[in-house]
Amino acid sequence: MCHRPHKPSAMELPPSCRAAADRMEQALQKEDLASYTAAHLSGSAADTLTSTEQKLSRELGRNIVLVAYESK
């Protein structure tokens, strides 16, 4: 995951959101398909994710958080 001090990361989510992300990761690991971990994103990929979060949040009128996972 790309960690930059001026932009929030998944680790800086409110506890309830972080708990939901943790539950999702646990659920994915339990599935037979594959194990997943938080994706390591480049700066431009993290910017795209943040931009998409903001666009969805505006369109839906809710605070939307997107999390990227990659297979191990």
Render pLDDT for 19-53 as a digit per residue (tens, 0 to 9): 887 888 777 767 655 667 788 899 999 999 999 99
The domains of the chain are located at 10-71
Q: What is the pLDDT of residues 47-71, one digit of tens each?
A: 999 999 999 999 999 988 888 888 8
User: Which pair of tokens denotes residue 1?
Assistant: 């995951």
DSSP helix/strand/coil, 60: helix
Round to whole Å and give the CA distance between 42 and 23: 25
